[in-house]
Structure 1
Amino acid sequence: MNRATSGVILVLIAGLGMAATYFAQHVSAPGIAAQQRLIDSRNLLDMLSPDSYDNQPLELPLTLTDHTLANSTLLAGYRATKAGQPSAVLLRSQTTGYAGTLELLIAIDVNGMLLGVKTLKQSETSGLGARIAEWPNGWLQVFSGLSLADTGNNGWALKKDQGQFDQITGATITSRAAINAIHDALRYFDEHRQALIGVNSHE
């Protein structure tokens, strides 16, 4: 075998190797991307019990109306379902904290009870208001299980504002902003429940 023939064979082998690598990546890419979406979704929805839904809520956003609220703005909404039945609504809420934008994901069950609250974005002071981004978050967990029915409107405030909630130590403005946004979300759910959970008006 002369040198030219060997060179051609090496080029063919390298070409076949690159083609095989490209084909493998092309075939596996959708699966890898889908798996990554599941991981991202799970991280975002980790305040919901995994057995409480079987759809991909973030892939089916709800159409929201009247999204500018008293103390916050709703950026998006999602519905979690189990066997085709609604199990929870997630509202992505934006408000203003001490140092800038504060964005929360607020999960509410079909009866209007808070399932959890998670901070998605914040620009608060390190060591003070920025602690609202910690996960799990002891301060935000206080709100789980509450609803408008068992917490009057006046109760949705800091104790220093004659409400019923403690603040994050050293972060009055951050705490107040979060409470107001959560209260806004619960009121929005109460007013738009049928549309949010997909219940027809005649049911």
Structure 2
Amino acid sequence: MEMLSAVRRSSVGIGIFAIVTAGLIAITQVSTKSRISHNEREQQARALYEIVPKDSIDNDLLEDTFSFVAPELQGSEQPANAYLARRNGVIETVILPVVAPDGYSGKINFIIGIHRDGSVAGLRVLAHKETPGLGDKVDLKKSDWVLSFNGERKGGRNDSSWAVIKDGGRFDQFTGATITPRAIVNAAGRAIDYFQRHKTELLGDSPKKVSQESS
């Protein structure tokens, strides 16, 4: 009987320990997820306002968004959110999220701002796994390469100059690392093409849902 009682007490203790442990893990996961989400939002806000300075517009970029579906930019049919920059109520710049699928070490996530006149407001890389010291120069913390997009325009879908220098274009590549900048230049070009095709909808008086155009 004493042994059975001891076993029961041990079982109860183990059960309580398991419940407490599971609860702590759940709380940690929720807390961590919330913190990660907050940090991602802050990073996103910094990148958005680096492209379009806060004092140059009269709306909140994080709140003024629209949903669109563009597999050619996102690599999937999942909706993504783009951001509208307004001045005096007029949409002056659209910031599109883009995924370059062909980076050296995988996907490269970035945003590109395009002004009403078709010129590039700016480009910022949000996430990548490129090689430190080589491909990671796409990060503004590592080099000012992304600033070379500022003010650039693409002269139509067949503009051969919208490419890295090694491919006959105007954008510098990195010594020993051409794949990474090529991936971003090409993906940025696709974003500009998308903007030009959907310019009327994107620059409308109010946010509209933009779907993939029929092929």
Does residue 50 of structure 1 match 2:54?
yes
Alignment of 1:164-175 (within 5 A): 164-175=170-181
Asked whether the equivalents of residues 164 and 171 of structure 2 are also in contact (C-alpha less than 8 Å), the reply is yes
1:91 matches 2:83: no
Of residues 116, 119, 138, the one that matches 1:110 is: 116
Secondary structure of residue in 2 paired with 1:155: coil
Following TM superposition, by how much is the alpha carbon of 1:73 offset from its aligned partner in structure 2, in angstroms?
3.8
Distance in 2 (alpha carbons) for counterparts of 1:47 and 1:55: 14
For 1:126, which of 115, 118, 132 is the aligned residue? 132
Output the CA distance in 2 between the equivalents of 1:148 and 1:99.
27
SS of equivalent to 2:62 = helix
Cα distance, 1:51 vs structure 2: 2.5
Structure 2 CA distance for partners of 1:180 and 1:126, relative to 1, 3 Å: same
Aligned to 1:186: 192
The structure-2 alpha-carbon separation of the partners of 1:73 and 1:111, relative to structure 1 and needing over 3 Å to count, comes to farther
Matched, 1:157 2:160: no
Q: Residues 136 and 59 from structure 1, CA distance in 2 versus in 1: closer, same or farther, beyond 3 angstroms? A: farther
In structure 2, what is the equivalent of residue 62 of structure 1?
66
| Matches of 1:158 and 1:167, distance apart in 2 | 6
Equivalenced residues, count: 163
TM (norm. structure 1) is 0.71
Shift of 1:183: 0.4
- In the aligned structure 2, how far is the partner of 1:41 from the partner of 1:68? 21
User: Partner of 1:31 in structure 2?
Assistant: none
Q: Deviation of residue 174 (structure 1)? A: 0.3
Normalised to the residue count of structure 2, the TM-score between the two structures is: 0.67
Counterpart in 2 of 1:145?
151
Aligned residue for 1:100? 106
Q: Distance in 2 between matches of 1:104 and 1:38?
A: 14
Instruction: Give the whole-Å Cα distance in 2 for the aligned partners of 1:165 and 1:40.
Output: 26
After superposition, the Cα gap between the structure-2 partners of 1:38 and 1:160, relative to the gap in structure 1 and judged at 3 Å, is closer
Deviates more, 1:146-155 or 1:36-45: 36-45
1:86-131 alpha-carbon deviations (Å, 9 max, x no partner): 1210001011210011011101111111010001000000111012
Residue type of the alignment partner of 1:56: D
In structure 2, C-alpha distance between the alignment counterparts of 1:57 and 1:44, rounded to whole Å: 11
Any unmatched runs of 5+ in structure 2? 1-38, 207-215
